[in-house]
Amino acid sequence: MIITTFSNGIRAVVRHSDSPVSYIGAAIAAGSRDDGEGRDGLAHFVEHTLFKGTRHRSSWHISNRMESIGGELNAYTTKEETLIYTNAPAGYAPRAIELIADLIKNATFPTAEIERERDVIIEEIHSYADSPADAVYDEFDELLYAGSALSHNILGSEKSVKALTGGNGRAFIDSRYTPANIVLYCVDPGNEQRNLRLLERHFGDLSFSENESCRVTPAELPAFRETRDRGHQQANTIIGTRLFARNDPRRYALFLLNNILGGPCMNSRLNRELREKRGLVYTVDSALTLMSDCGSMLIYFGSQPDKVEKCLRIISDEISRLASDRLSPRAFDAARDQYCGQLTVSGDHRENCAMALAKSLLYFGEVHDIAHTAEQIRAVTPDDLRDMAALIASKELSRLTLT
Tell me if residue 351 falls in helix, strand or coil. Answer: helix
Query: 7: which strand partners?
Result: none
Query: 54: which strand partners?
Result: 107
Work out the pLDDT band at 220, boundaries 50, 70, 90.
Answer: very high
Per-residue model confidence (pLDDT) at position 237:
98
* Model confidence at 228: pLDDT above 90: yes
Summary mean pLDDT of the chain: 95
The rounded distance, in Å, linking the Cα atoms of 65 and 119 is 24
CB 49 within 8 A of CB 78: no
Per-residue model confidence (pLDDT) at position 209:
76
Lowest mean pLDDT among 207-211, 302-306, 310-314: 207-211
Mean pLDDT of 227-235: 92
Question: Is it true that 2-203 and 225-402 share their CATH fold?
Answer: yes
Q: What angle do CA 30, 97, 346 make, to 5 degrees?
A: 65
Q: Residue 220: how many CB atoms within 10 A of its CB?
A: 11
Per-residue model confidence (pLDDT) at position 214:
82
Mean pLDDT of 365-369: 91
- Report the CATH superfamily, name and number, of domain 2-203: Metalloenzyme, LuxS/M16 peptidase-like (3.30.830.10)
Among 392, 18, 11, CA closest to 187: 18
Mean pLDDT of 302-322: 97
| % the chain with pLDDT above 70 | 100
Distances, alpha carbon 71 to alpha carbons 91, 96, 139, 300, 358, in Å: 11, 9, 36, 36, 20
pTM, 2 dp: 0.93
Q: In what order do the strands lie in the sheet with 284-290?
A: 225-228, 398-402, 235-243, 295-303, 284-290
Per-residue model confidence (pLDDT) at position 101:
97
- Report the CATH superfamily, name and number, of domain 225-402: Metalloenzyme, LuxS/M16 peptidase-like (3.30.830.10)
| % the chain with pLDDT above 90 | 92
Mean pLDDT of 309-324: 97
Per-residue model confidence (pLDDT) at position 128:
86
The rounded distance, in Å, linking the Cα atoms of 66 and 64 is 6
CB 208 within 8 A of CB 175: yes
Among 107, 94, 273, CA closest to 188: 94
* Model confidence at 389: pLDDT above 90: yes
Mean pLDDT of 154-174: 95
The rounded distance, in Å, linking the Cα atoms of 20 and 14 is 16
* Model confidence at 208: pLDDT above 90: no
Per-residue model confidence (pLDDT) at position 149:
96
The rounded distance, in Å, linking the Cα atoms of 396 and 392 is 8
The domain limits of the chain are: 2-203, 225-402
Mean pLDDT of 343-371: 91
CB 75 within 8 A of CB 87: no
User: Per-residue pLDDT tens for 268-301?
Assistant: 999 999 999 999 999 999 999 999 999 999 999 9
* Model confidence at 129: pLDDT above 90: no
| Separation of CA 273 from chain center | 28
* Model confidence at 163: pLDDT above 80: yes
User: Per-residue pLDDT tens for 113-128?
Assistant: 999 999 999 999 999 8
* Model confidence at 210: pLDDT above 80: no
Strands 21-28 and 72-77: unpaired
User: Per-residue pLDDT tens for 84-101?
Assistant: 999 999 999 999 999 999
The rounded distance, in Å, linking the Cα atoms of 243 and 245 is 7
